[in-house]
Amino acid sequence: MRGWGYDTSWNGEYFIRHFTFDSLEDYLAYLETAETHEAFLRGSQASEAGSEEFTLTTSLDEAMQLCRFGWHDGFNDLVALVERVKRRLDIKIDPNRTFHDYVGFAPDVKAYLEGSPLTMINKPVVHKPLVTIYMNTSYAGNEANERIYSRGAIVLAAAEALELMGFMVDLRLFELSYVDKDIHFSEYRLKMPDERVNLQKLYFPLCHPAWVRRLNFRLIETSPNMTDAWAGCYGIPAEVPMIRMVLGLGAGDILIPTIEEMKLEGEDVLEDAQKLFERINVGLPADKQLVLR
């Protein structure tokens, strides 16, 4: 069974093209085999023609290899940045309490040798509340790479912090752009709610400009029934009202919109973090807000 889907629908006067991908590999496999739509054959394709300065890669193939096998340049800096943000958060860590029992997940040799009947280490079953974060990975063509990187790093720090606080985090990445009344919407399942945040796996999609400027551009180039208008601009990043309309999100749903809408600067990560956390806090309980010390 293929790990991707495509459908179209109408929402009022808007026509929506909708892709879903169950994993990174499913996404890459689609991009490797899909044919270029004729609207994009009349000139150069942006997924290949983009400059190294614009995409931080030399080709579409390089971007796909980085996505598949991992982007390692600057990864230690990312980890340090994520840890810096987490250290400044005023959070209550969810304790991982254990107790001795007749059954459990690991033996206690000392208790066994002492003759105790409670020789297994167990832990209570704890219901972890679910937090869903919707993140539009799209951004404007003139967006600075530093701001792209900063937004991704802060989202990863927030997701890790929420897990430490006892939440399950469902991180739903998508791209949503439009031309007139024509919407292009793609969703990517890169993390299951019961999975811990994998920084190495999410580093490229969240922090590298080639995720949009090569891979997403390639997806647009291969989408069915595209028009010359799309070939001319590759779409405009959707803003919050359109996103909420398409995804059916309410005011209490957590949405990370474009970098421009959040007014991130990409210079002081803690300043940017506070702006982004305000978006996340709308969906958190009052006693579990993300607040910097």
Q: What is the pLDDT of residues 191-249, one digit of tens each?
A: 999 999 999 999 999 999 999 999 999 999 999 999 999 999 999 999 999 999 999 99
Contact 186, 175 (CB under 8 A): yes
- Count: domains in the chain: 1
Residue 96 belongs to some domain of the structure: no
Burial class (CB in 10 A: 0-12, 13-18, 19+), 231: buried
Q: Which of 246, 284, 260, 285 is nearest to 141 (CA)?
A: 260
Residue 179 belongs to some domain of the structure: yes
Q: Which of 79-93, 102-116, 135-149, 204-218 has the lowest mean pLDDT?
A: 102-116
Residue 95 confidence (pLDDT) above 80: no
pLDDT over 90 for what percent of the chain?
85
Q: How many residues are given for the chain?
A: 293
Cα distances from 56 to residues 37, 66, 186, 213, 239, in angstroms, run: 25, 11, 23, 9, 25
Residue 97 belongs to some domain of the structure: no
Domain holding 254, by residue range, is 4-91+126-288
| pLDDT score, position 273 | 96
Residue 99 belongs to some domain of the structure: no
| pLDDT score, position 221 | 98
Residue 119 belongs to some domain of the structure: no
Residue 208 belongs to some domain of the structure: yes
Residue 106 belongs to some domain of the structure: no
